[in-house]
Amino acid sequence: MRSYALALVKACHKRGAPAIGGMSALIPIKNDPAANEKALAGIRHDKTRDANDGFDGGWVAHPGLVAIAMEEMVKVLGERPNQWHKQRTDTFGAKTGSTSSPSNRSPSRPAQQHHVGIHYLGSCWPATAACRFTT
């Protein structure tokens, strides 16, 4: 996933498009202050990494997390609306953690993946309450 994230920043910025980071899987936890602090620290870590990698914005799973995510983005972006000036020249692939291999491919896999993607869009995505943020 690390190679994918960095390659996404590279591709987007090369084309003058904003690179929007992924959603942290963590959410605030009510009625458990210790677990909540741990979750918020994890979200802060995720968004700090995204900002430092060159992402221009991102997603959070709960509206209450926008302030934390924005704080981390603004630390890196400052007054700039994006990080297009950060043009990655890295090469990504097997040496940086890609797990794709010919043995992992079969003629039926693309159809299966397509079905899963359509199912997700049709049944899960409209019901979510995620938030996108950009500076």
Higher pLDDT, 56 or 94: 56
Closest CA to 48 of 73, 23, 67: 73
How confident is the model over 98-117, as a mean pLDDT? 49
Q: Which CA distances in Å does 40 have to 10, 20, 25, 56, 135?
A: 28, 20, 11, 21, 20
pLDDT on residue 114: 46
Q: What are phi and psi of 18, to 5 degrees?
A: -70, 140
**DSSP secondary structure letter of residue 97:** T
Confidence check: pLDDT of 113 > 80: no
Averaged pLDDT of the chain: 78
How confident is the model over 14-39, as a mean pLDDT? 91
> Please, which pLDDT band fits residue 134 given cuts at 50, 70 and 90?
low
Which residue type occupies 31? N
pLDDT on residue 86: 84
Confidence check: pLDDT of 129 > 60: no
> Please, which pLDDT band fits residue 119 given cuts at 50, 70 and 90?
very low
> Please, which pLDDT band fits residue 31 given cuts at 50, 70 and 90?
very high
Q: In what order do the strands lie in the sheet with 20-23?
A: 20-23, 57-60, 131-134
Q: What are phi and psi of 60, to 5 degrees?
A: -130, 155
